[in-house]
Amino acid sequence: MAISRLMQRAGRFLNNLSPLSQKPKNNLIGKPAENARYLWSFLNRIFNKVDENRIKECGPDRAASEWLIRCGASVRWKGYDKFHNDYNTLPSGQTVIEAIDATDSCIMSLGFPYLRGLKSLQEINLSKCYYLEDNCLHLLGLYQGDQIRRLRLVSCGNVSDAGIANLTAMKALEELFMFDLPAVKNREACIKLLHEALPKCKIEFPEV
């Protein structure tokens, strides 16, 4: 289904959602900004909801690719040179994800269980991910801590010192680049913690 059609259907559904959300319908009238935020939050949860049946049906890599591309990210499969971000032309057959570029995507912790079955993931770029927060990095370490070798974490405003501490579980990391994380209050302490936990990893966290 095209994204525009999904948004139209979600918009119609949202207009009738007030009993579930405990918001009177009249409260949405005349507040377009609030209505838009609520709609996008609703859509993002749809995009990130894990479909266990889909994982069983087509395998973890295909299901994860669909989730990532649905959320605006792109993937590179093993044996491919370029990243792919077209939901409608996903290749058939057995392909495995080697790299993820989640720049400007709407991935959130709700969808991170899609990562748990990936066996070939080597790198991930988490830049300008508005919904990325500390628990996402906890789940990343839980599901991919022994595999991912390269990680970029840039301009994610909801990642705090606690989120950086979660990266200590990423034992396979060889390169870690972080920048513009305004919720991190003690950059030097975070760097020290990571160096102690990941002595073989090249860690960069320059000041803004």
Q: Are strands 175-179 and 150-154 parallel, antiparallel or unpaired?
A: parallel
Please give the pLDDT value at position 112.
Answer: 98
Please give the pLDDT value at position 9.
Answer: 47
User: Which stretches within 16-110 are classed as H helix?
Assistant: 18-21, 32-48, 52-58, 60-70
- Domain borders along the chain are 49-204
* pLDDT tens column, 140-149: 999 999 999 9
**Predicted structure pTM score:** 0.83
Rounded-to-integer distance, Cα 49 and Cα 56, Å: 15
Please give the pLDDT value at position 17.
Answer: 43
Q: 8 pLDDT exceeds 60? A: no
* pLDDT tens column, 162-189: 999 999 999 999 999 999 999 999 999 9
pLDDT higher at 9 or 115: 115
Contact between 176 and 201 under an 8 Å Cβ cutoff? The reply is yes
Rounded-to-integer distance, Cα 153 and Cα 141, Å: 14
Share of the chain above pLDDT 90, in %: 74
Give domain 49-204's CATH number out of 1.25.10.10, 3.20.20.70, 3.80.10.10, 1.10.260.40.
3.80.10.10
* pLDDT tens column, 67-103: 999 999 999 999 999 999 998 888 877 899 999 999 9
